[in-house]
Amino acid sequence: MLASIGLETKDIAWTLGKDPHVIRQTLYQAKTSKESKREEMSDQEKKLGRLVELTEALLRTRISELLEKELDDPKKKELYRLTGKKNTRELSDLTGLSTGAISGLWQRWYSKGILKKQGKFYIRIFEEETEDA
């Protein structure tokens, strides 16, 4: 580690007025502490990843329930399926819903958590959940 910058343990010990053995021991502890922290972070990252998976599973269940209630007619199902892929006017033409009705549905669905905003646009929470709806 120190050799890469042209230093040896004895040089540091001499500069600090310390025993080279103490310097080696301190460097070893720092190295093992870094490795331990990396392993700890890796373990925490795994736990966090699992937590995200479980949260998504719960969300999917809840969203499926909400979609079943909210998408009670073919026009609404089609609107939801195309949300995030077309603009309001195109969606109005494709679904037969007015732009005002589309806007109202999006606001309602957003408040219920089955849509999210991306900039000034609404998009579905999960892309794949709509194929079953």
In tens, the pLDDT along 45-97 reads 888 888 888 888 888 788 888 899 999 999 999 999 999 999 999 999 999 99
Tell whether 12 and 25 lie within a shared domain: yes
The segment with the largest mean pLDDT, out of 4-13, 34-43, 82-91, 123-132, is 82-91
Question: What is the residue range of 125's domain?
Answer: 72-133
Q: Quick check: 106 and 115 in contact, CB under 8 A?
A: yes
pTM: 0.57
Domain CATH number, residue 110: 1.10.10
Tell whether 82 and 126 lie within a shared domain: yes
Tell whether 77 and 51 lie within a shared domain: no
Greater confidence, 14 or 43? 43
Split into its structural domains, the chain has a count of 2
Domain final residue, candidates 20, 45, 70 = 70
The Cα–Cα gap between 60 and 53 comes to 11
Q: Which distant-in-sequence residues (6+ apart) come within 8 Å of 92 by Cβ?
A: 98, 99, 102
